[in-house]
Amino acid sequence: MNEVFEEFRAAAHAVWQRRWLALGIAWGVCLLGWMVVALIPNSYESEARIYVQLDDVLSKQIGIAGDGEENIARVRQTLASSVNLEKVIRSTKLDEGISSKRDMENAIATLSKNVSVKSQEDNLFKLTARVGQRDLPDAENAKLSQAVVQKLIDIFREENIAGSRGDVADTLVFLDQQLDQRKRELEAAEQRRLAFEAKNPDLIGGSAALSSKLEAMRSDLRGVDADLAAAQSALAAVNGQLAGTPRTLTTPGQGGGARGALAQAEAQLAAAQARGLTDSHPDVIALKKQIQLLRKQAASESPDAGGTPNPAYSSMVSIQAERQANVQSLTARKAALESDLSAMVASQASEPAAAAEANGISRDYDVLRKNYDKLLQDREEMRLRGQVESERSSFKFDVIDPPTIPRIPASPNRPLLLLGVLILGIGAGVGGAFAFSQLRTTFATTEKLSRALGLPVIGSISTSLTDAARGLQRKQLRMFTAGLASLGGLAIILLAVEFIQRSLAA
């Protein structure tokens, strides 16, 4: 910290020893800077605010709302175009001194930088123009900035009201021409499509339609396979049940034949065993022998002899016939689908060029159809918009803040520049004196001398002045103070003059 303080003391001493050089540099820089500030022309800025009311209720009812906002955006984009800025220049005093095309281009480029159109809210716009001509007095520049803003407002109004109606009419004519051309192209494409489909009925709709047909046919085939498997399973179940169902029912008793007698003997045997008779009982032995004999006779007897038809068997036969018919129908359906699928695949594989042609014709027709429908919809919306703008304007302009003549220049900020030049001049004087001191190696303090030589300093001798020298030193100090005060006083005078001029202009 002590070293930093010593360096600061050394620098201050070096500058103080060359204070007259610093004062001269400060005066030179300040005078030159103030002259430059004085030569900068004043620029005056005029602004206005415009409210654009979108009275578009009818447009919203017919479904074309939002056109007004699109027009505003279009005007904002084209307002700063070269054509519109050239109109502003030629209608104001900005065209003075313009004698060639190059001069006009330079004037347009300058004006485009000084003109801005900003949207503060949804429907509120701020128009700003800054003008500063060197060959015009301040009062004329202020009026010129107001004239530029007013011309911008006029262009804004013309572009949105009169211009939009003319654009609608021109657009309708262009859309009608495009519709006629698209209609002819669409009719030609439709004729090509009909001729191709008449020659190749399998390729109607193009390859996409053919692929859809193949996929649908494969899906139907998978469904028929599933139904056929279910029908065959059901038929097998009926056949199994039918095999275990007798055709006739035997009737025990008289007239029942060998089967009836067999059934009666078996019933008697079961009754005897139920009474508790054993197998060695004579009655049981006799019944068993009788049953063996009757079984031989029943085996040689006709199945239908001595019995009645079984109704369950007849019902199962009907169900079997129905399910056999269902299986045969599904089998025939499967064969037909497989035949059609094979034929379609073979046709597609044998004529790839025809399939590609069908796809191209279908694609071209779809594209032309979509473009035609889109143009037709745009033409209808534009026609309705033209009717709305003819019967009820979508735009109403209200100038909220009209352009006024500015009283105070927008730029440059002279008070700030004057103070900046003063600070810059003082800094340049101090910096110049310090830089000059570095050219001549001196030691302001004993510590600095000791660090430079690497040897201890035993002591120092202070300056001893005579009375005449002290008087001369005081005189020089007063002169330096007067010079520095004069510099500050001149800066204050310039600031006062600037503020007086602004108050008089206001």
Domain boundaries, the chain: 2-40+412-505, 44-161+393-401, 248-309
In single-letter form, the type of residue at position 369 comes to R
The mean-pLDDT minimum among 167-181, 209-223, 345-359, 427-441 falls in 345-359
Q: pLDDT confidence of 29, banded at 50, 70, 90?
A: very high
Report angle CA 370, 374, 378 to the nearest 5 degrees. 170
Q: Sheet of 395-401: strands edge to edge?
A: 115-119, 124-131, 44-54, 395-401
**Contacts (Cβ under 8 Å, ≥6 apart) of 146:** 46, 403, 404, 405, 406
Q: pLDDT confidence of 32, banded at 50, 70, 90?
A: very high
pLDDT at 313 over 80: no
pTM listed for this prediction: 0.43
In single-letter form, the type of residue at position 382 comes to M
Which H or E element spans position 125?
strand 124-131
DSSP annotation string for 444-472 = SSHHHHHHHHTS-----------HHHHHH
Residue 255's pLDDT is 46
pLDDT in tens, 445-501: 667 667 767 777 776 767 666 778 778 878 888 888 898 899 889 989 988 888 887
Report angle CA 222, 224, 225 to the nearest 5 degrees. 65
Residue 87's pLDDT is 81
Sheet strands (E) in 269-326: 307-309
pLDDT in tens, 353-394: 656 666 677 777 778 888 888 888 877 777 776 665 555 455
Sheet strands (E) in 285-371: 307-309
CATH superfamily ID and name for 44-161+393-401 = EIF_2_alpha (3.30.70.1130)
pLDDT in tens, 53-88: 654 433 443 344 444 455 556 556 666 677 777 888
pLDDT at 506 over 60: no
Residue 59's pLDDT is 42
Q: Is it true that the peptide bond before 412 is cis, omega within 30 degrees of 0?
A: yes
User: 323: how many CB neighbours lie within 10 A of its CB?
Assistant: 19
Q: pLDDT confidence of 310, banded at 50, 70, 90?
A: low
Residue 27's pLDDT is 93
CB 98 within 8 A of CB 110: no
User: 21: how many CB neighbours lie within 10 A of its CB?
Assistant: 15
Which H or E element spans position 396?
strand 395-401
Both structure tokens of 241: 């049940």
Left if phi > 0, otherwise alpha if psi is -120 to 50, otherwise beta: which for 433? alpha
pLDDT at 176 over 70: yes
Residue 56's pLDDT is 46
Percent of the chain with pLDDT over 70: 71
Residue 64's pLDDT is 42
Distance from C-alpha of 144 to C-alpha of 150, rounded to nearest angstrom: 10
Q: Which of 142, 111, 116 is nearest to 127 (CA)?
A: 116
The mean-pLDDT minimum among 322-336, 400-414, 420-434 falls in 400-414
Q: With b meaning 16 or more CB within 10 Å and e meaning fewer, what string describes 167-185?
A: ebeebbeebeeeeeebeeb
